[in-house]
Amino acid sequence: MNQVGGTAVVALSGLANQRVSVLDFQTVSGVNWAKVCLANGTAGWLDQRLLAKSATNNFGMNLTALSATQRSFALAVAQAAIKVGKQYGVYPSIILAQAAGETGWGTSKLATAANNLFGIKADSTWQGATYVVASPEVENGKTVMRNSTFRKYATLKDSVADYALKLTGSVLYVKALRGNSSNAINACQDLSEWATDPHYVTTLQTRIKNYAMSALDNL
């Protein structure tokens, strides 16, 4: 294939030595493509399998400490985070940091059985599928397990999109949006109400720093 959506396919040659900005994602005939812009100004579509093999496969993040399974999860969520983040004005780094923390890098039962990456519960406004599972809650300084009904999604991207809608639709998280904060680390300060864990914000900030997730915010 020489074109995707009318735009030329980018060759891998020289890619490892260049900064790559990912603009979009598209699936054509079963192949996943990433629309990229190279530092030299070249733009086009790149087979995501090649992107994953290049030196820039981690979108600029430092994922060396992760297992192959964890890294695969991080990259899958990052793809959705970049696209949804642009659409809703949410920091992709925060999306990934929260998803990693909430699911244990994609290993939680809520993530594997319901594609729910952010622990969003099914309130009275939710009309979709649901999933009941025990989850940790902090009550009076102690962590206890409580059965709760959560939203169930068809795909990881659906979960990311619903998360963005929740974030942008609440007055609680106004300062967590890109337009109201100078960077993702500062934006995390406005996410203290997301979970009952008193260390939630600092844990998010540490995860973003340790894995250089802020690189996603520049794509």
Yes or no: say if 57 and 75 are a contact pair by the CB < 8 Å rule.
yes
Two structure tokens written together for 191: 């996410």
Question: What does the alpha-carbon distance between residue 117 and residue 161 come to, in Å, rounded to a whole number?
Answer: 11
Question: What does the alpha-carbon distance between residue 166 and residue 164 come to, in Å, rounded to a whole number?
Answer: 5
Question: What does the alpha-carbon distance between residue 95 and residue 27 come to, in Å, rounded to a whole number?
Answer: 22
Question: What does the alpha-carbon distance between residue 124 and residue 106 come to, in Å, rounded to a whole number?
Answer: 27
Give the gyration radius of the chain's Cα atoms. Answer: 18
Q: Does 139 participate in catalysis according to the annotation?
A: no
Catalytic residue of the set 102, 162, 190, 217: 162
Q: Does 162 participate in catalysis according to the annotation?
A: yes
Catalytic residue of the set 137, 139, 158, 217: 137
Task: Give the SS3 label for residue 143.
Answer: strand
Yes or no: say if 59 and 216 are a contact pair by the CB < 8 Å rule.
yes
Residues annotated catalytic, as ranges: 137, 162
